[in-house]
Amino acid sequence: MTDIIKLTAAETAARIASGELTAVAVTEAHLARIEAVDEKVHAFLHVDREGALAQARAVDEKRERGEKLGPLAGVPLALKDIFTTEGIPTTVGSKMLEGWIPPYDATLTQRLKAADVVILGKTNMDEFAMGSSTENSAYGPTGNPWDLTRIPGGSGGGSSAALASFQAPLAIGTDTGGSIRQPAAVTGTVGVKPTYGAVSRYGMVAFSSSLDQGGPCARTVLDAALLHEVIAGHDPLDSTSIDAPVPPVVEAARNGSVAGMRVGVVKQFRGEGYQAGVVQRFDEAVALLKDLGAEIVELDCPSFDLALSAYYLIAPSECSSNLARFDGLRYGLRTGDDGTHSAEEVTSLTREAGFGDEVKRRIMLGTYALSSGYYDAYYGSAQKVRTLIKQDFDAAFEQVDVIVSPTTPTTAFPIGERADDPMAMYLADLCTIPTNLAGNAAMSLPCGLAPEDNLPVGLQIIAPVMKDDRLYKVGAAVEAAFVEKWGHPLLEEAPSL
């Protein structure tokens, strides 16, 4: 089992296609790993054992019939519990949807099944994807496999923890303000936020519709590219979906190089609040890029300093609108419907019981920002700042091909350390939020361990809109050089559970 679960997704698919391994054996090995360690990690909210084995058997039968298998056929995957899945629960980490069984699959779920990817189950997350630590799940926090007393990032901490604990070789996350990249950074894995609109949001429970984006999570850049190619592409069911070819991400990941590329370093992405070990590893990564033939360009993007404030007006405003549908009358939790309460009272009691503290906080912030007399002062002003951030990116990408930064200002912090300090929690989003506001693509990949705590540090790579292949071209080159020089931190230095 140990040998199977340590394989990359690409290696696993190749061995299944050749007949060296069966998809059932691979699935059983990962299900056994989940059974052995997930009681401690708590990466999964629901494990679909029978469904996963049925999908695996179908892959083996295809191979026996001589049918050509796709590049990820038979490879297990952990799916963030924000995408609808027909026949198995989708809770979004909330009591509001506890036990809800969707009658349909999200477009992303459909594409995974069509590619014969084996869905092991649904992973833990901050409620309605609101958080940077996966402590806001109504079903309890997830632990970081490097140190179970620390957070695995958020909101997609369950997906990143499943990868880092070898419970799955692939996972899916969503990124509204960094919720794919931050978990990747603090768990030593790879996470990609594609260009906004590149992956369908149909069937993804909405938090902030102009920011939310699903994307691939993996342990290597190539594995992320293979998954990216499966889930991306135009979807007529999503009005924000981009009707354009998927960039050649797999080809880029197989031919990684930075020779002759211009790589930008933004001065706003360092300074007060950044952990010394994170800055040290980032500086080493920049030096590595220079050694590989890249030209390093210093950039000044002054509006980035306003990104955090703008995001925490725009995202709560959109969440207050999106979550209005959870009223206790149509679906989901219903509390107080005993014949003695009005419809308004039932709605109030349901929301009190169903939403957690962070969700209530953001709904209230957003409702206030959108209220009469405050809309222009708050939400309207935040949208103007968003335009300035996009203009800063546009100007930067006239000078450089990609931008690099630390993914998070610090390594994983202890569970509970920031629970009573929302502002300290929100500061984890400093480096990731500008990309969401502008809509362009970004990746986090490991760049070593911080010397003061021996925990993973993430390198963020940012590319222009629909130039997602540049992420993989640069990421693959950095990954190969890093592994050659220092070894793979997850495979060689991660503590055993």
Report the DSSP pairing between strands 76-80 and 118-123: parallel
Nearest alpha-carbon partner for 41 in 97, 123, 98: 123
Distance between CA atoms of residues 146 and 411, nearest Å: 11
**Residue pair 173/159 in contact by the 8 Å Cβ criterion:** yes
- From the candidates 160, 165, 179, 200, give the one annotated as an active-site residue: 179
Give me the torsion for CA of 32, 37, 42, 46, rounded to 10°.
Answer: 10
- From the candidates 80, 95, 122, 193, give the one annotated as an active-site residue: 80
DSSP-derived 3-state class of residue 497: coil
- From the candidates 94, 137, 155, 444, give the one annotated as an active-site residue: 155
Is the bond leading into 155 cis (omega within 30 degrees of zero)? Answer: yes
155 annotated active-site:
yes
Q: Which neighbouring-strand residues pair with 444?
A: 191, 460
DSSP E strand boundaries for 98-209: 118-123, 170-174, 190-193
**Residue pair 436/177 in contact by the 8 Å Cβ criterion:** yes
**Residue pair 217/172 in contact by the 8 Å Cβ criterion:** yes
Q: Give one DSSP letter per residue of 240-282, joined into a string.
A: T---SPPP-HHHHHHT---TT-EEEEEGGGSSTT--HHHHHHH
Report the catalytic residues.
80, 155, 179
